[in-house]
Amino acid sequence: MSGEGEDDGWGEALAEAVAPALAEPPPPADAARVLSQAEIDSLLGVGGDGGAEEGGGSGIERIISRGLVSYERLPMLEIVFDRLVRILSTSLRNFTSDNVEVSMDGMSSLRFGDYLNSIPLPAMLAVFKAEQWDNYGLLVVDSSLIYAVVDVLLGGRRGTSAMRIEGRPYTTIERALVERLVNVILQDLSDAFSPLSPVNFRFERLEVNPRFAVISRNSNAAVLARLRVDMESRGGEVQLLLPYATLEPVRELLLQQFMGERFGRDSIWELHLAEELRQTGVALNVVLDQQTMRLSDVLRLKVGDRLALSVPPGAPVTLACGNVPLFQGRVGRRNGRLAVRIEESLPRAGQRSPETSP
């Protein structure tokens, strides 16, 4: 009896423990998972203190940055800018009559709106147009280089840094001298692109407010090249911005690994194929006449039957390769053999005969 009582007690305890689990329905297999606050902050690129994470951002910022096109996909552009550095060093020496060194600080790919917000002011922004490409570019001269150029061109003493007065607008003389500097840089930029594609970069206007120098949409990608100009103890930076839309007409040329590269073509294989084709034997048929006959008449032909040609003796014949007529000539004899003398060439498909050409 005691055993039965113990079994009843264990059964009641087990039923009480399992009852809550049976009462709650199991969660569906496709139930949406709720993100925690830490996971949401990681996705948005926000740190625990509420600010952006250090190291270039993460999450959505990285997804957005993935949409940018890297300048490394245009390897010929690096060669163009290297050529610009060499040409510009000589041109600025002649322009300033001073010892000028130009170097490349680096190239980067970024969005146009992000660049406008990062321009250190005060600065002068020169808008120029690529006439053959029918689009625009931006040239930014920082304040250090502006005062250095003005000081050099107006006879400032060497070895001393240019006087810089903050909080005042640029004068007409300073704008005129910077415009001359911009024209020198744009001329050298045209010369740097000339081996690749002829283009003329024409100066449009000079601005000091980035809002008035908008040449592209803020979300469009662009290539930025930073050039460092040093004149003994003076100097500054020139920033050259070219939107990808401006470079689109010469994109295929900028994709080359070296100057003169041909995509999808191998000159050695082309020469070999052309040489083998010249040595290929083809059959040249002399067509005396062509007639249309019924199939029943063709089936009744036998040895000894004669076919009357509808052309008179001495009529011109056609020389054809397969179904393609090539020449027209006359049949005769030479050295005891039948021969055909070519008198004229027949126009190919899609070509006009000399008689019908205007």
Which CATH number belongs to the domain containing residue 195 in this structure?
A: 3.40.1550.10
E strand residue ranges, the chain? 101-111, 123-130, 135-142, 201-207, 221-231, 234-243, 285-287, 317-321, 324-334, 337-345
E strand residue ranges, 21-122? 101-111
138 and 196 share one domain: yes
Pick from 189, 229, 214: nearest CA to 127 = 214
pLDDT in tens, 58-93: 556 666 655 555 555 788 888 899 999 999 999 999
62 and 75 share one domain: no
Q: How many domains does the chain divide into?
A: 3
112 and 88 share one domain: yes
- Give the sign of the dihedral formed by CA 226, CA 231, CA 232, CA 233: negative
Mean pLDDT of 271-288: 87
Beta bridge partners of 46: 52
pTM, to two decimals: 0.56
Which SS3 state, helix, strand or coil, does residue 130 take?
A: strand
pLDDT band at 266 (very low <50, low <70, confident <90, very high): low
40 and 160 share one domain: no
78 and 58 share one domain: no
Q: Residue type at 298?
A: V
Whether residue 241 lies inside any domain: the answer is yes
pLDDT in tens, 152-175: 888 876 655 555 556 678 889 999
Beta bridge partners of 207: 125
Whether residue 132 lies inside any domain: the answer is yes
92 and 140 share one domain: yes
51 and 111 share one domain: no
Whether residue 329 lies inside any domain: the answer is yes
Whether residue 198 lies inside any domain: the answer is yes
For residue 233, CA distances in Å to 42, 103, 174 come to 47, 15, 20
Q: Which structural domain, as residue segments, surrounds residue 250?
A: 71-254
54 and 75 share one domain: no
For residue 207, pLDDT over 80 is answered with yes
Whether residue 228 lies inside any domain: the answer is yes
For residue 311, pLDDT over 60 is answered with yes
Phi first, then psi: give them for residue 333, nearest 5 degrees.
-125, 145
DSSP state of 353: -
318 and 194 share one domain: no
State the pLDDT at residue 70. Answer: 54
> What is the CB neighbour count within 10 angstroms for residue 254?
21
The Cα–Cα gap between 214 and 222 comes to 13
Pick from 115, 109, 110, 105: nearest CA to 85 = 105
